[in-house]
Amino acid sequence: MSEQGPFRLGVLGSGLGSNFDSIAQGCAAGAIPADITLALSDVEDSGILRSAKALGVPIRYIAPGKFRTKLDETAEAEYIAALQEAEVDLVVLAGFMRILKGEFLKAYEGRVVNIHPSLLPSFPGLEAWKQALDHGVKVTGCTVHFVDQGVDMGAIIAQETVRVRDDDTAESLLARIHDAEHRIYPATIAMIAHGEIELRGRRTFQKVDP
Protein backbone atom coordinates (compact mmCIF):
# COMPACT_ATOMS: atom_id res chain seq x y z
CA MET A 1 0.00 0.00 0.00
CA SER A 2 1.17 3.57 -0.64
CA GLU A 3 2.58 5.16 2.48
CA GLN A 4 0.13 8.03 2.67
CA GLY A 5 -3.24 8.96 1.40
CA PRO A 6 -6.05 6.91 0.00
CA PHE A 7 -5.98 3.41 -1.37
CA ARG A 8 -5.00 3.52 -5.04
CA LEU A 9 -6.44 1.54 -7.90
CA GLY A 10 -4.96 0.84 -11.31
CA VAL A 11 -7.66 -0.36 -13.71
CA LEU A 12 -6.69 -2.38 -16.78
CA GLY A 13 -9.12 -2.93 -19.65
CA SER A 14 -9.26 -3.57 -23.35
CA GLY A 15 -12.88 -2.81 -24.23
CA LEU A 16 -15.99 -0.86 -23.47
CA GLY A 17 -15.13 0.06 -19.91
CA SER A 18 -18.57 -0.34 -18.30
CA ASN A 19 -17.01 -1.92 -15.21
CA PHE A 20 -14.48 0.92 -15.10
CA ASP A 21 -17.40 3.36 -15.13
CA SER A 22 -19.13 1.62 -12.22
CA ILE A 23 -15.88 1.59 -10.21
CA ALA A 24 -15.19 5.26 -11.01
CA GLN A 25 -18.73 6.14 -9.91
CA GLY A 26 -18.20 4.17 -6.69
CA CYS A 27 -15.00 6.11 -5.98
CA ALA A 28 -16.61 9.46 -6.78
CA ALA A 29 -19.59 8.73 -4.56
CA GLY A 30 -17.36 7.66 -1.66
CA ALA A 31 -18.73 4.09 -1.71
CA ILE A 32 -15.23 2.86 -2.57
CA PRO A 33 -12.62 4.49 -0.31
CA ALA A 34 -10.06 4.73 -3.11
CA ASP A 35 -8.76 6.77 -6.02
CA ILE A 36 -8.15 5.44 -9.51
CA THR A 37 -4.65 6.67 -10.22
CA LEU A 38 -4.26 4.98 -13.58
CA ALA A 39 -6.39 3.52 -16.37
CA LEU A 40 -4.21 1.36 -18.53
CA SER A 41 -5.03 -0.36 -21.82
CA ASP A 42 -3.52 -2.46 -24.56
CA VAL A 43 -6.05 -0.96 -27.00
CA GLU A 44 -5.41 2.64 -27.93
CA ASP A 45 -8.98 3.59 -28.86
CA SER A 46 -10.71 1.59 -26.10
CA GLY A 47 -13.84 2.82 -24.35
CA ILE A 48 -12.12 2.52 -20.98
CA LEU A 49 -9.46 5.06 -21.96
CA ARG A 50 -12.08 7.41 -23.40
CA SER A 51 -14.17 7.20 -20.20
CA ALA A 52 -11.16 7.68 -17.97
CA LYS A 53 -9.96 10.66 -19.97
CA ALA A 54 -13.41 12.26 -19.74
CA LEU A 55 -13.29 11.84 -15.95
CA GLY A 56 -9.78 13.25 -15.64
CA VAL A 57 -8.27 9.90 -14.59
CA PRO A 58 -4.65 9.52 -15.79
CA ILE A 59 -4.51 7.17 -18.77
CA ARG A 60 -1.81 5.17 -20.50
CA TYR A 61 -1.90 3.07 -23.62
CA ILE A 62 0.95 0.57 -23.67
CA ALA A 63 1.29 -1.65 -26.74
CA PRO A 64 1.17 -5.32 -25.76
CA GLY A 65 3.99 -6.47 -28.01
CA LYS A 66 4.28 -9.42 -30.27
CA PHE A 67 1.84 -11.93 -28.73
CA ARG A 68 -1.92 -12.20 -29.22
CA THR A 69 -3.05 -13.35 -25.78
CA LYS A 70 -0.38 -12.09 -23.37
CA LEU A 71 2.09 -9.24 -22.91
CA ASP A 72 5.60 -9.71 -24.23
CA GLU A 73 8.52 -9.18 -21.83
CA THR A 74 9.12 -5.54 -22.74
CA ALA A 75 5.43 -4.67 -22.47
CA GLU A 76 5.10 -6.50 -19.15
CA ALA A 77 7.97 -4.45 -17.70
CA GLU A 78 6.34 -1.26 -18.96
CA TYR A 79 2.99 -2.19 -17.41
CA ILE A 80 4.63 -2.89 -14.06
CA ALA A 81 6.58 0.38 -14.20
CA ALA A 82 3.46 2.40 -15.06
CA LEU A 83 1.51 0.89 -12.16
CA GLN A 84 4.40 1.40 -9.77
CA GLU A 85 4.76 5.01 -10.87
CA ALA A 86 1.06 5.49 -10.12
CA GLU A 87 1.68 3.89 -6.68
CA VAL A 88 -1.12 1.43 -7.24
CA ASP A 89 -2.19 -0.72 -4.27
CA LEU A 90 -4.62 -2.92 -6.17
CA VAL A 91 -4.63 -3.88 -9.86
CA VAL A 92 -8.21 -4.19 -11.08
CA LEU A 93 -8.76 -6.10 -14.31
CA ALA A 94 -11.92 -4.91 -16.02
CA GLY A 95 -12.17 -6.63 -19.36
CA PHE A 96 -8.40 -6.82 -19.90
CA MET A 97 -7.99 -9.37 -22.65
CA ARG A 98 -4.39 -10.46 -21.96
CA ILE A 99 -3.27 -13.19 -19.60
CA LEU A 100 -0.93 -11.85 -16.92
CA LYS A 101 2.02 -14.04 -16.06
CA GLY A 102 5.07 -14.52 -13.86
CA GLU A 103 6.84 -11.18 -13.42
CA PHE A 104 3.62 -9.19 -13.30
CA LEU A 105 2.02 -11.46 -10.72
CA LYS A 106 5.25 -11.48 -8.71
CA ALA A 107 5.29 -7.68 -8.61
CA TYR A 108 1.62 -7.56 -7.53
CA GLU A 109 1.26 -10.83 -5.68
CA GLY A 110 -2.17 -11.11 -4.06
CA ARG A 111 -3.04 -7.65 -5.33
CA VAL A 112 -4.65 -8.36 -8.70
CA VAL A 113 -8.40 -8.94 -9.03
CA ASN A 114 -10.58 -9.80 -12.01
CA ILE A 115 -14.26 -10.10 -12.82
CA HIS A 116 -15.50 -12.98 -14.91
CA PRO A 117 -18.97 -13.33 -16.47
CA SER A 118 -19.87 -16.76 -15.07
CA LEU A 119 -20.04 -18.57 -11.75
CA LEU A 120 -16.50 -19.94 -11.67
CA PRO A 121 -15.21 -22.61 -11.79
CA SER A 122 -17.90 -23.17 -14.44
CA PHE A 123 -17.18 -21.70 -17.84
CA PRO A 124 -13.72 -20.14 -17.61
CA GLY A 125 -12.29 -18.52 -20.73
CA LEU A 126 -13.93 -16.54 -23.49
CA GLU A 127 -17.64 -15.74 -23.93
CA ALA A 128 -18.56 -17.43 -20.66
CA TRP A 129 -22.21 -16.29 -20.84
CA LYS A 130 -22.58 -18.02 -24.23
CA GLN A 131 -20.93 -21.16 -22.87
CA ALA A 132 -23.46 -21.15 -20.01
CA LEU A 133 -26.44 -20.61 -22.33
CA ASP A 134 -25.27 -23.32 -24.75
CA HIS A 135 -24.72 -25.73 -21.85
CA GLY A 136 -28.29 -25.18 -20.69
CA VAL A 137 -27.67 -24.05 -17.12
CA LYS A 138 -30.59 -22.41 -15.32
CA VAL A 139 -28.42 -20.14 -13.15
CA THR A 140 -25.22 -18.35 -14.06
CA GLY A 141 -23.74 -15.06 -12.87
CA CYS A 142 -20.41 -13.39 -12.30
CA THR A 143 -17.38 -13.90 -10.11
CA VAL A 144 -14.77 -11.57 -8.62
CA HIS A 145 -11.54 -13.42 -7.94
CA PHE A 146 -7.88 -12.93 -7.19
CA VAL A 147 -5.67 -13.52 -10.21
CA ASP A 148 -3.07 -16.26 -10.08
CA GLN A 149 -1.09 -18.19 -12.69
CA GLY A 150 -4.12 -20.15 -13.92
CA VAL A 151 -6.73 -18.68 -16.25
CA ASP A 152 -9.84 -17.70 -14.22
CA MET A 153 -8.59 -19.98 -11.43
CA GLY A 154 -7.69 -17.73 -8.50
CA ALA A 155 -9.41 -17.62 -5.13
CA ILE A 156 -13.02 -16.47 -5.33
CA ILE A 157 -13.93 -13.30 -3.44
CA ALA A 158 -17.55 -12.69 -4.45
CA GLN A 159 -20.24 -14.08 -6.74
CA GLU A 160 -23.69 -12.95 -7.81
CA THR A 161 -26.18 -15.27 -9.46
CA VAL A 162 -28.24 -14.45 -12.54
CA ARG A 163 -31.18 -16.65 -13.52
CA VAL A 164 -31.29 -17.84 -17.12
CA ARG A 165 -34.71 -17.17 -18.70
CA ASP A 166 -36.30 -19.43 -21.28
CA ASP A 167 -36.38 -16.59 -23.80
CA ASP A 168 -32.81 -15.41 -23.15
CA THR A 169 -30.45 -14.71 -26.02
CA ALA A 170 -26.72 -14.37 -25.47
CA GLU A 171 -27.21 -10.59 -25.56
CA SER A 172 -30.07 -10.42 -23.04
CA LEU A 173 -28.27 -12.75 -20.64
CA LEU A 174 -25.04 -10.78 -20.92
CA ALA A 175 -26.90 -7.54 -20.21
CA ARG A 176 -28.18 -8.90 -16.87
CA ILE A 177 -24.74 -10.33 -16.02
CA HIS A 178 -23.27 -6.89 -16.67
CA ASP A 179 -25.82 -5.34 -14.30
CA ALA A 180 -24.71 -7.82 -11.63
CA GLU A 181 -21.04 -7.07 -12.35
CA HIS A 182 -21.66 -3.37 -11.87
CA ARG A 183 -23.01 -4.14 -8.38
CA ILE A 184 -20.52 -6.68 -7.09
CA TYR A 185 -17.25 -5.34 -8.52
CA PRO A 186 -17.43 -1.91 -6.83
CA ALA A 187 -18.75 -3.51 -3.61
CA THR A 188 -15.91 -6.05 -3.55
CA ILE A 189 -13.24 -3.46 -4.30
CA ALA A 190 -14.63 -1.39 -1.44
CA MET A 191 -14.24 -4.36 0.94
CA ILE A 192 -10.63 -4.87 -0.21
CA ALA A 193 -9.86 -1.15 0.16
CA HIS A 194 -11.27 -1.33 3.71
CA GLY A 195 -8.88 -4.23 4.40
CA GLU A 196 -11.77 -6.58 5.05
CA ILE A 197 -10.82 -9.46 2.77
CA GLU A 198 -8.58 -12.17 4.11
CA LEU A 199 -7.14 -14.93 1.93
CA ARG A 200 -6.50 -18.35 3.49
CA GLY A 201 -5.45 -20.97 0.99
CA ARG A 202 -8.06 -21.04 -1.74
CA ARG A 203 -10.72 -19.44 0.43
CA THR A 204 -11.42 -15.81 1.18
CA PHE A 205 -13.18 -14.49 4.24
CA GLN A 206 -14.70 -11.17 5.17
CA LYS A 207 -13.21 -10.04 8.45
CA VAL A 208 -15.76 -8.94 10.96
CA ASP A 209 -15.05 -6.67 13.90
CA PRO A 210 -15.24 -8.57 17.18
Which one of 117, 141, 154, 186 is in contact with ligand GRF (CB under 6 A)? Answer: 117
> Shortest approach of ligand GRF to residue 28 CB, angstroms?
17
The window from 13-21, 84-92, 160-168, 198-206 that contacts ligand GRF (CB under 6 A) reads 13-21
Evaluate the CA torsion angle 91, 94, 96, 102 in order and state its sign: positive
Maximum Cα–Cα distance for the chain, whole Å?
A: 52
Which 119-148 residues touch ligand GRF, going by CB under 6 A? Answer: 142
Count residues near ligand GRF (CB under 6 A): 15
> Is residue 17 part of the contact set for ligand GRF (CB under 6 A)?
yes
CA-to-CA separations, 6 to 2, 36, 37, 183, in angstroms, rounded:
8, 10, 10, 22
Nearest residue to ligand GRF, by Cβ distance, number only: 95
Rank residues 111 and 176 by Cβ distance to ligand GRF and give the closer one.
176
Q: Residue 116 in contact with residue 142, Cβ under 8 Å?
A: yes
Tell which phi-psi region holds residue 63, choosing left (phi > 0), alpha (psi between -120 and 50) or beta: beta
Amino acid identity, position 84: Q
* Residue 194 appears among annotated catalytic residues: no
Contact pattern for ligand GRF over residues 76 through 95, marking x by CB under 6 A: ------------------xx
Give one DSSP letter per residue of 47-73, joined into a string: HHHHHHHHHT--EEE----S-SSB--H
Q: Catalytic residue numbers? A: 116
Binding stretches for ligand GRF (CB under 6 A): 13, 15-20, 94-95, 115-117, 142, 178, 181
